């Protein structure tokens, strides 16, 4: 057999007997991996005269790109909005545990907090690749405090802020640093928000619209200034009205700049959004739908009292409320559960459900050349799933980082 060492000494792994999600379709072909990247087998055969060093029988599994969660507030008792001495060990614990949900990259999310919390927490979040230690960190998602009092949801009112004369400077003073920030959720109807959106966009930060009473024209103006995302569609915004559909109207707006796509997050846990509303959004704008968990510290824990930033929340089954109220406060759903519920609720294809948790968030963040697909030369972050879309194994950079034990299958 000709040597395959002409280009690299790294072993070539061939995953066989599988259906790969590529180009929006499940295709029955093998997946080839070397040095953490997905290989083009034709180049391997014809240019390098190479062959596999290791073969893995996938036993007819689906192989899909790893899930990317762009809105997760914590889990397993860890709250990203609490400044603690062991914050780093907390973020490490969550990144390790979510591997079993199929999440290979995520944006740790902070809800509205006092400036002191941002100043303490943000320097402790570093963008890093995933691996056996846990899912990769793509940067922080800062949800608030520049949001609407009327639609604050689970965010503490005393911490909300408005933009004053030096709007962008206000934001910088509040957060302390934007070094590791990937997404900022704000209410676009706030005075001076346009200049903030323009400046954040210029710095490569994704601006999301949410916790807002904006009408459609205010939302369209925000998109024209660079906003590209909607935070948990339908939740914490004006309800759809036929004369002014508000932020929801962006899904079918004809005022979106050419070549731009507006994405929208949905918490597909069966609680935050009625299945009919999920279907309406998906049918109106399928290519923009991004599944998010909006998971809080109580994810993975028993029902009872937990925290969400400055607030105390109560978990009752899959419902999470601000303690003593019926105000929803994040979710305890896992990403794989959200994917299965979305597919069941909408009747969409398996491919569509999987791409809503992988390709679409990657496109939103502008990283689809390396994450969210199984295209050649992209990162070998992928999942093995059974036909019921239950995760059987999680791989990052071509290495197995989690596997369902035989008893649990």
Within-domain flag for 156: yes
CA geometry: angle 295, 332, 121, nearest 5 deg: 30
Domain membership of residue 117 (yes or no) is: yes
Residue 59 lies in a domain: yes
Total domains present in the chain = 2
Is 294 in the active site?
yes
Answer yes or no: is 97 within a domain: yes
388-408: average pLDDT: 89
Structure tokens at 142: 């800062």
The Cβ of residue 21 has, within 10 Å, a number of other Cβ atoms equal to 23
Q: What is the CATH number of the domain that holds 250?
A: 3.20.20.140
Q: What is the CA radius of gyration of the chain?
A: 21
Report CA torsion sign: 366, 372, 377, 382: positive
- Examine the domain organization and report whether 187 and 224 are in the same domain: yes
Per-residue pLDDT at 45: 80
C-alpha to C-alpha distance for 145 and 143, rounded to whole angstroms:
7
Residues 232, 294 within the same domain: yes
Q: Is 51 labelled as part of a ligand binding site?
A: no
**Paired sense of beta strands 311-316 and 136-137, if any:** unpaired
> In the predicted model, what is the mean pLDDT of residues 130-144?
98
Q: Is the dihedral of CA 122, 67, 234, 231 positive or negative?
A: positive
Residue with the two structure tokens 């398996």: 350
Position 409 in a domain? no
Domain membership of residue 270 (yes or no) is yes
Backbone φ and ψ of 46, nearest 5°: -85, -35
Mean pLDDT of 123-150: 97
Instruction: Give the phi and the psi of residue 304 in degrees, each rounded to 5.
Output: 140, -160
**What is the residue range of 385's domain?**
4-64+373-403
The verdict on 60 and 72 lying in the same domain is: no
CATH number for the domain that contains residue 397? 2.30.40.10
Same domain, 199 and 335: yes
Neighbours of 27 (CB within 10 A): 12
Q: What are phi and psi of 308, to 5 degrees?
A: -140, 95
Give the model confidence (pLDDT) of 144-163 as tens digits: 999 999 999 999 999 999 99
Task: Tell me the percentage of the chain whose pLDDT exceeds 70.
Answer: 97
Residue that is written with structure tokens 């954040």 in the block = 200
pLDDT digits (tens, 9 = 90+) for 283-303: 999 999 999 999 999 999 989
- Domain membership of residue 319 (yes or no) is yes
218 in a structural domain: yes
Specify the pLDDT at position 243.
Answer: 96
Instruction: Say if residue 110 carries a ligand binding annotation.
Output: no
Task: Answer yes or no: do 350 and 258 share one domain.
Answer: yes
According to the model, what pLDDT value does residue 64 have? 98
pLDDT of 4: 45
329 is in an annotated binding site: yes
pLDDT band at 359 (very low <50, low <70, confident <90, very high): very high
Q: Model confidence over 25-53: pLDDT tens digits?
A: 999 999 999 999 999 999 888 887 778 99
Find the catalytic residue in 79, 269, 294, 379.
294
First to last CA, the chain: 38
């Amino acid at each position: 057999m000709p040597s395959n060492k002409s280009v690299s000494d790294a072993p070539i792994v061939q995953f066989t007997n599988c259906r790969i999600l590529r180009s929006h379709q499940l295709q029955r072909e093998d997946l080839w991996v070397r040095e953490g990247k997905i290989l083009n087998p034709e180049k391997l055969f014809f240019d390098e005269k190479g062959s596999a060093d290791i073969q893995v029988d996938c036993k007819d599994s689906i192989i899909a790109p790893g899930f990317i969660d762009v809105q997760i507030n914590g889990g397993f008792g860890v709250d990203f909005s609490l400044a603690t001495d062991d914050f780093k060990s907390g973020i490490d614990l969550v990144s390790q545990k979510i591997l079993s949900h199929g999440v290979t990259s995520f944006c740790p999310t902070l809800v509205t907090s006092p400036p002191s919390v941002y100043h303490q927490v943000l320097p402790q979040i570093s963008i890093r690749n995933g691996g056996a230690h846990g899912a990769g960190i793509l940067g922080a998602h800062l949800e608030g405090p520049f949001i609407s009092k009327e639609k604050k949801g689970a965010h503490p009112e005393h911490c909300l802020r408005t933009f004053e004369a030096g709007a962008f400077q206000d934001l910088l003073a509040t957060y302390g640093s934007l070094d590791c920030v990937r997404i900022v959720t704000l209410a676009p109807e706030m005075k001076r928000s346009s200049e903030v959106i323009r400046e954040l966009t210029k710095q490569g930060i994704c601006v999301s619209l949410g916790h807002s009473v904006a009408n459609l024209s205010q939302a369209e103006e925000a998109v024209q200034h660079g906003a590209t995302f909607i935070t948990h569609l339908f939740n914490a915004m004006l309800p759809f009205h036929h004369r002014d559909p508000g932020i929801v109207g962006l899904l079918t707006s004809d005022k979106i700049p050419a070549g731009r796509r507006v994405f929208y997050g949905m918490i597909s846990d069966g609680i935050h959004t009625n299945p009919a509303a999920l279907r309406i959004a998906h049918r109106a704008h399928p290519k923009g739908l991004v599944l998010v968990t909006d998971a809080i510290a109580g994810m993975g824990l028993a029902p009872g009292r937990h925290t969400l930033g400055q607030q105390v929340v109560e978990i009752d089954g899959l419902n999470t409320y601000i303690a003593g109220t019926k105000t929803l406060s994040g979710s305890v759903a896992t990403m794989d559960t959200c994917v299965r519920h979305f597919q069941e609720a909408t009747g969409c294809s398996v491919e569509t459900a999987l791409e809503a948790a992988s390709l679409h968030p990657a496109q939103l963040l502008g990283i689809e050349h390396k994450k969210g697909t199984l295209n050649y030369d992209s990162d070998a972050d992928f999942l093995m799933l059974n036909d019921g879309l239950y995760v059987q194994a999680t791989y990052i950079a071509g290495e197995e980082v989690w596997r369902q034990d035989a008893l649990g299958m």
